[in-house]
A and B are shown apart, each in its own frame.
Chain A
Amino acid sequence: MISVNLLAMFYLISGVLFILALRGLSSPETSRQGNFFGILGMSIAVVVTFLSIGNFSISFVYVIAFLLIGGSIGAIIAFKIPMTAMPELVAGFHSLVGLAAVFVAISAFLNPDAFNLGTIGNIKLASLIEMSIGAAVGAITFSGSIIAFLKLRGIMSGAPITFPGQHILNLIILISIIGLTYFLCATQSSSLFWTLILISFLVGILLIIPIGGADMPVVISMLNSYSGWAAAGIGFTLENTALIITGALVGSSGAILSYIMCKGMNRSFFSVIMGGFGGTDQVIQSNNKEQKPVKSGNSDDAAFLMKNASSVIIVPGYGMAVAQAQHALREMVDTLKKNGVKVSYAIHPVAGRMPGHMNVLLAEANVPYDEVFELEEINNDFANCDVAYVIGANDVTNPVAKTDPQSPIYGMPILDVEKAKSVLFVKRSLSPGYAGVDNDLFYRENTLMLFADAKKMTEDIIKSF
């Protein structure tokens, strides 16, 4: 047994190590050390918890066994998962944190003695409120992440599901949750506690189904934030500093990422939550534009243009991930570099299905990170570049965002691809992107459309060199 104060000191150390883990991510050089700090902090927290309980009986063996079972499942997933599936994986992991928070809250409710929270039917008021918040937010995180997972995985359609009275229903449920918490505190009734959890599961589902595929980066970040607040709620219940610090860190981290993603799309957080964006009903307006002349080319044209260029900027998007074209792309770039062409990559904040997704895919294909640039860093360079190679991106290059106040994507920061001397646009058809808006770039004088699968086209270009 170690003393309560010593225990609290160790939890504080864990919390500080977690802060250092996030701090490490400020640059790729320090990031690996940061991850090590995180692992260290976690090990300290787990070991001192065992020491504080000091119960090394048969149940301890079970705990270790369950820990190893979970750990091996996690390890297998971590090594097997392809990098293109990171968004689903993160959504799946969020759901587990949420459910774990619910389970811990339940066992604290069923056995408050163990946590020094009072006795059954007579739990301290503050603890009961904290427990309810932790359980409710955890349950919302769990079911919301499951829906996000299903949508990202393609098991459920990415189209928003809306029905009349949806917002009013959500409001009623929200009020009923507050009411339930109040009566739970007054009566300590376990059936109210279970109802609270069930309703929270329902809220999570209702919250995520109206949000369309295009807003997935916001959804993932938002659920990341929720999982943090759930952890913090449980941290208050258990009076555990490490958990409170971590919950606050994760909560604010997810909130900041949601903000960055919303800004990248010029959408307010509120309108994302209300949902309905990214459906098919907005496509109609673009039909009359289809007759405009479009120049299309083949891999030989593209190879010729790029080989004779002095600088090329690559604009990757989600389509590149779907086609698994990142390795072919890097090969193409290697050939170009051998020919003395200067190549860089331009990443839009919302490219892909989660924050930073494109960067990971490019890193996987051995693209050095100092050749990859963010929107603000590279946007002025398009005017001086010879060729922009757009592969799998669409909405984030649409000049309409700057010119047409009627457009749904008006005001969204975009990559100034149209300023390049020539634009090579790899796409399977002229269909609009996720936002349902026709891309003006297709019909520009300096644009050459390459109609093909992203990977196939890139490989053909390599052959044509």
Chain B
Amino acid sequence: MEIDPFVFRLSIFILSIFVGYYVVWSVTPSLHTPLMSVTNAISSVIIVGAIIAALAGKGNVIFNQASIFGYLAIILAAVNIFGGFLVTQRMLAMYKKKKK
């Protein structure tokens, strides 16, 4: 009997929750705002689904019912990716140590 690939994905998912749990507890509280903005940015990796959806049009049809939603999702996710990483960068650049 072969194991259903779903079980592998579920394993990855469960283990990642644990990884996330320990990694996030080690985040210093002063960086909790950047943590939120960067998690925002990385969860927009959903853009890969949007790209697949957008490019799935058959033949010369660029915009069909399904791909339009893909294109819209690309815009939304792109706002988030660029916005999220850049605003995180901007915040992190402000954290400075005391001048000795």
Binding site for B on A (CB under 8 A): 11, 14-15, 18-19, 21-23, 25-28, 31-32, 34-35, 38-39, 41-42, 45-46, 49-50, 53, 55, 58-60, 62-63, 66-75, 77-79, 81, 83, 86, 89-90, 93-94, 96-97, 99-101, 103-104, 106-108, 110-111, 113-115, 126, 220-221, 224, 227-228, 231-232, 234-254, 256-257, 260, 347, 349, 354-357, 359-360, 363-364, 366, 368-372, 374
Q: Give min CB distance, B44 to chain A, whole Å.
A: 6
Residue B27 is within 8 A (CB to CB) of chain A in the complex: yes
* Contact across chains for B84 and A93 when beta carbons are under 8 A apart: yes
Given the complex of chains A and B, what is the CA–CA distance between A364 and B90 in angstroms?
Answer: 10
Interface centre among A110, A247, A250, A347 (most CB of B within 10 A): A250
* Contact across chains for A249 and B82 when beta carbons are under 8 A apart: no
The 5 closest A-B pairs by CB, nearest first: A70-B78, A356-B32, A114-B56, A74-B83, A74-B82
Interface centre among B21, B46, B55 (most CB of A within 10 A): B46
Pick the residue among B13, B69, B77, B95 that contacts A236 (CB under 8 A). B13
* Contact across chains for A71 and B51 when beta carbons are under 8 A apart: no
* Contact across chains for A38 and B42 when beta carbons are under 8 A apart: yes
Given the complex of chains A and B, what is the CA–CA distance between A241 and B71 in angstroms?
Answer: 22
Known: A74-B79, A93-B40. A356 touches B45 (CB 8 A): no
| Interface footprint category on B | 35 or more
* Contact across chains for A28 and B95 when beta carbons are under 8 A apart: yes
Binding site for A on B (CB under 8 A): 5-6, 9, 12-14, 16-17, 19-21, 23-57, 62, 64-99
Dominant secondary structure of chain B at its interface with chain A: helix
Which of chain A's residues have a CB closer than 8 A to the CB of B41? 38, 42
* Contact across chains for B55 and A75 when beta carbons are under 8 A apart: no
Given the complex of chains A and B, what is the CA–CA distance between A35 and B87 in angstroms?
Answer: 11
Residue of B nearest to A224 (CB): B36
Which of chain A's residues have a CB closer than 8 A to the CB of B34? 25, 31, 35, 356, 360
Which of chain A's residues have a CB closer than 8 A to the CB of B87? 77-78, 81, 86, 89
Pick the residue among B19, B45, B56, B80 that contacts A93 (CB under 8 A). B80
Which of chain A's residues have a CB closer than 8 A to the CB of B48? 11, 45-46, 49, 238, 240, 242-243
* Contact across chains for A90 and B77 when beta carbons are under 8 A apart: no
Given the complex of chains A and B, what is the CA–CA distance between A90 and B83 in angstroms?
Answer: 10
Q: Give min CB distance, A280 to chain B, whole Å.
A: 29
Which of chain B's residues have a CB closer than 8 A to the CB of A77? 79, 83, 87
Given the complex of chains A and B, what is the CA–CA distance between A244 and B16 in angstroms?
Answer: 8
Pick the residue among A49, A63, A90 that contacts B40 (CB under 8 A). A90
* Contact across chains for B94 and A103 when beta carbons are under 8 A apart: no
Known: A35-B38, A248-B19, A355-B33. 7 other contacts (CB 8 A): A28-B95, A49-B52, A355-B29, A355-B35, A359-B29, A368-B99, A372-B30
Given the complex of chains A and B, what is the CA–CA distance between A256 and B35 in angstroms?
Answer: 12
Given the complex of chains A and B, what is the CA–CA distance between A68 and B52 in angstroms?
Answer: 17
Residue of A nearest to B47 (CB): A46
Residue of A nearest to B95 (CB): A28
* Contact across chains for B76 and A99 when beta carbons are under 8 A apart: yes
Which of chain A's residues have a CB closer than 8 A to the CB of B51? 46, 49-50, 53, 63
Which of chain A's residues have a CB closer than 8 A to the CB of B20? 19, 22, 248-253
Known: A31-B34, A249-B39. A368 touches B96 (CB 8 A): yes
* Contact across chains for A62 and B82 when beta carbons are under 8 A apart: no
Known: A103-B70, A251-B20, A370-B98. A97 touches B30 (CB 8 A): no
Q: Give min CB distance, A445 to chain B, whole Å.
A: 33
* Contact across chains for B93 and A32 when beta carbons are under 8 A apart: yes
Which of chain B's residues have a CB closer than 8 A to the CB of A260? 29, 32
Which of chain B's residues have a CB closer than 8 A to the CB of A50? 51
Q: Give min CB distance, A198 to chain B, whole Å.
A: 15
Given the complex of chains A and B, what is the CA–CA distance between A133 and B33 in angstroms?
Answer: 28
* Contact across chains for B53 and A356 when beta carbons are under 8 A apart: no
Which of chain B's residues have a CB closer than 8 A to the CB of A53? 51-52, 55
* Contact across chains for A71 and B82 when beta carbons are under 8 A apart: yes
Which of chain A's residues have a CB closer than 8 A to the CB of B46? 97, 100-101, 104, 231, 234-235, 243
Which of chain B's residues have a CB closer than 8 A to the CB of A46? 47-48, 51
Q: Give min CB distance, B76 to chain A, whole Å.
A: 4
Which of chain B's residues have a CB closer than 8 A to the CB of A247? 13, 16, 43
Which of chain A's residues have a CB closer than 8 A to the CB of B82? 70-75, 78
Given the complex of chains A and B, what is the CA–CA distance between A174 and B29 in angstroms?
Answer: 34
Given the complex of chains A and B, what is the CA–CA distance between A38 and B85 in angstroms?
Answer: 8
* Contact across chains for A236 and B9 when beta carbons are under 8 A apart: yes
Which of chain A's residues have a CB closer than 8 A to the CB of B29? 260, 347, 349, 355-356, 359, 374
Given the complex of chains A and B, what is the CA–CA distance between A51 and B57 in angstroms?
Answer: 17
Q: Give min CB distance, A14 to chain B, whole Å.
A: 7
